[in-house]
């Protein structure tokens, strides 16, 4: 069955206006902190109604490029890091290749996070991981749905890194690809032993992090992500194996 592509719709005026202003900002034509032209001016210049301009500015606000103050105007956001980021182009299909690329990025970040979690985790972090692990153990034993516990386990690892940007990224990707955990945890996954295999990987990952072994944690996470990819039919041969090395763990303290 060939992938049926979505029929393209004409862009809305508000999207066109929004993209144009975004380009001004990205190209540096409008610098951070600078005030945008008034809605009245933009309406006249673009030849559209004020409502269209307002919707365009709403888009820019949602994307973090612009902040507005009633009575004062709309300003280019000056704080770096506020703009939003998308893993894909709007026109990208939800195909296997796109998913594989994102999964590779996820692999890079999650293996690094595991190593960091091993060296930075607190008792509270470990308790959080343990709790999620227990829920997954129960799910395996009962043939039940462990996807949420699986997600929570990964977020707990990210939390142990103490880096909010990492937490936000891992949480975001985990949610966007929540469906990727279904083949592991659905009835078929249980019957085929995939849930049990995933759980063994989780247990190993947890042991490494609890033991404070950054190298072991990295390797356990790497293995888990590779196996997870395999369960989804994603090829991983060309992924960076993130080499395992003799390691001086005292240097991490």
Partner DNA sequence: TACGCAAAGTTGTCTGACAAGCAGATCAAT
Partner DNA sequence: ATTGATCTGCTTGTCAGACAACTTTGCGTA
Report the interface residues with its own copies, using CB under 8 A: 9, 14-15, 18, 26, 51, 54-56, 58-64, 69-70, 78-88, 90, 92-94, 98-99, 101-102, 104-105, 108-109, 112, 115-116, 119-120, 163-166, 168-169, 172-173, 175-177, 179, 214-215, 238, 240-247, 251
- Give dist(CA 60, CA 137) in Å, integer: 44
- Give dist(CA 125, CA 121) in Å, integer: 6
* Burial tier of 2 (Cβ tally within 10 Å: 0-12, 13-18, 19+): exposed
Backbone angles phi, psi at 126, to 5 degrees: -60, -40
Rounded least distance, CB 50 to its own copies, Å:
10
Q: Applying CB under 7 A, which part among 42-50, 95-103, 143-151, 217-225 lies near DNA?
A: 42-50
Give whole-number Cα distances, 14 to 20, 26, 52, 71, 101, in Å: 10, 18, 5, 22, 31
Q: Which is nearer to its own copies, 61 or 137 (CB)?
A: 61
Of 205, 162, 158, 155, the residue nearest 181 (C-alpha): 155
- Give dist(CA 133, CA 160) in Å, integer: 15
Burial 68-106 (b: 16+ CB within 10 A, else e): beeeeebbbbeeeeeeeeeeeeeeeeeeeeebbebbbeb
55 binds DNA (CB under 7 A): yes
Q: Which is nearer to DNA, 52 or 195 (CB)?
A: 52
Rounded least distance, CB 12 to its own copies, Å:
8
Binder of DNA out of 30, 60, 74, 217 (CB under 7 A) = 74
Rounded least distance, CB 168 to its own copies, Å:
7
Q: Applying CB under 7 A, which part among 44-52, 101-109, 123-131, 207-215 lies near DNA?
A: 44-52
The angle formed by the CA atoms of residues 202, 100 and 106, to the nearest 5 degrees, is: 45
- Give dist(CA 94, CA 96) in Å, integer: 7
Rounded least distance, CB 29 to DNA, Å:
18
Binder of DNA out of 21, 25, 30, 57 (CB under 7 A) = 57
Q: Which is nearer to DNA, 36 or 160 (CB)?
A: 36
- Give dist(CA 132, CA 211) in Å, integer: 18
Q: Which is nearer to its own copies, 186 or 200 (CB)?
A: 186
| Residue 98 contact, options DNA, its own copies, none, Cβ 5-8 Å cut-off depending on partner type | its own copies
The answer to whether residues 138 and 188 touch, using CB atoms and an 8 Å cutoff, is no
66 binds DNA (CB under 7 A): no
Backbone angles phi, psi at 73, to 5 degrees: 140, -175
| Residue 249 contact, options its own copies, DNA, none, Cβ 5-8 Å cut-off depending on partner type | none
Give the footprint of DNA on this chain (CB under 7 A).
9-10, 12-14, 36, 38-40, 47-52, 54-55, 57, 68-74
């Amino acid at each position: 069955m060939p992938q049926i592509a979505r029929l393209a719709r004409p862009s809305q005026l508000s999207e066109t206006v929004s993209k144009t202003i975004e380009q001004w900002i990205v190209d540096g034509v409008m610098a951070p902190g600078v005030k945008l032209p008034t809605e009245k001016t933009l309406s006249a210049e673009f030849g559209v109604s004020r409502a269209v301009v307002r919707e365009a500015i709403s888009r820019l606000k949602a994307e973090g490029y612009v902040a507005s103050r009633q009575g004062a105007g709309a300003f280019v956001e000056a704080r770096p890091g506020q703009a939003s980021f998308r893993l894909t182009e709007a026109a990208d299909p939800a195909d296997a290749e796109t998913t594989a690329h994102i999964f590779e990025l996820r692999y890079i970040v999650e293996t690094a996070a595991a190593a960091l979690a091993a060296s930075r985790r607190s008792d509270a972090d470990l308790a959080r991981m343990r709790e999620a692990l227990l829920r997954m153990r129960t799910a395996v034993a009962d043939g039940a749905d462990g996807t949420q516990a699986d997600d929570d386990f990964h977020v707990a690892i990210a939390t142990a890194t103490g880096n909010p940007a990492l937490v936000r990224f891992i949480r975001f990707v985990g949610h966007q690809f929540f469906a990727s955990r279904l083949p592991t945890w659905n009835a078929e996954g249980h019957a085929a032993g995939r849930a049990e295999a995933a759980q063994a990987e989780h247990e190993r990952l947890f042991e490494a992090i609890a033991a404070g072994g950054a190298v072991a944690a990295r390797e356990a996470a790497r293995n888990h992500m590779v196996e997870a990819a395999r369960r989804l039919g994603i090829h991983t041969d060309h992924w960076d194996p993130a080499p395992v090395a003799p390691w001086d763990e005292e240097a991490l303290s």
